[in-house]
Amino acid sequence: MLFNKNFMGRSYECMSDCADMSSYLNKCHSCRVESGCFMVYDRPNYMGNQYFMKRGEYADYMSMWGWSGCIRSCRMIPMHRGSYRMKSYERENFGGQMYELMDDCDSIMDRYRMSDCMSCHVMDGHGLMYEQPHYRGRMMYLRPGEYRNFMNMGMSGMRWMSMRRIMDSWY
């Protein structure tokens, strides 16, 4: 459920993906997740800064995350029970060294001596990539599929340094 600041004013209940919130709310500054997990974005069409939300209340997430805008789109993350498999590559288009991840990795550099991750292929599961080690900094949601070049996804200049699986226990 999305609201104006501090759960006041108009609200919009979202139970699936929403590419553009502007037709429902002028500005969304607070959120209550009653079930499931969502990725929210500060631009329409699932672009811009991303933030992961699991069940809970977020009265003023803007100051919490340092955003200057508001939620413009959101994507529901389906529950996944089972294994997680991702192949991570140091260069775009699946080039360079490849490492297979099957669990959380708090530092790609420490574990694999890989200075950068420029593309990946998620075979099973859903995960979050972080720009800093130990799951800090900006994040990007990864669902099953091929990600040939993170720069073409509006993520230029970002280095991905850690990865965490989205677990069914978070729902």
Q: How confident is the model at residue 14 (pLDDT cuts 50, 70, 90)?
A: confident
Contacts of residue 40, Cβ cutoff 8 Å, sequence gap at least 6: 31, 50, 51, 53, 71, 73, 74
Residue 73's H or E segment, with its range, is: strand 73-77
Contacts of residue 167, Cβ cutoff 8 Å, sequence gap at least 6: none
- Predicted TM-score (pTM) of the model is 0.81
CB 32 within 8 A of CB 57: yes
Residue 32's H or E segment, with its range, is: strand 30-33
Q: What's the rounded Cα separation, in Å, for the pair 16 and 29? A: 19
CB 4 within 8 A of CB 10: yes
Mean of the pLDDT values across residues 28-43? 86
Please choose, from the candidates 54, 35, 50, 129, the residue with its C-alpha nearest in 3D space to the C-alpha of residue 84: 129
Mean of the pLDDT values across residues 16-21? 92
Q: What is the DSSP letter of 40?
A: E
CATH assignment of 85-170, among 3.20.110.20, 3.30.590.20, 2.60.20.10, 2.102.10.10? 2.60.20.10
**Taking CA 29 as the corner, what is the angle to CA 28 and CA 35, rounded to the nearest 5 degrees?**
80
CATH 2.60.20.10 describes domain 2-77 = yes
The per-residue pLDDT for range 40-76, each reduced to its tens digit, is: 988 899 988 888 989 888 876 555 556 666 888 999 9
- Structural domain boundaries in the chain: 2-77, 85-170
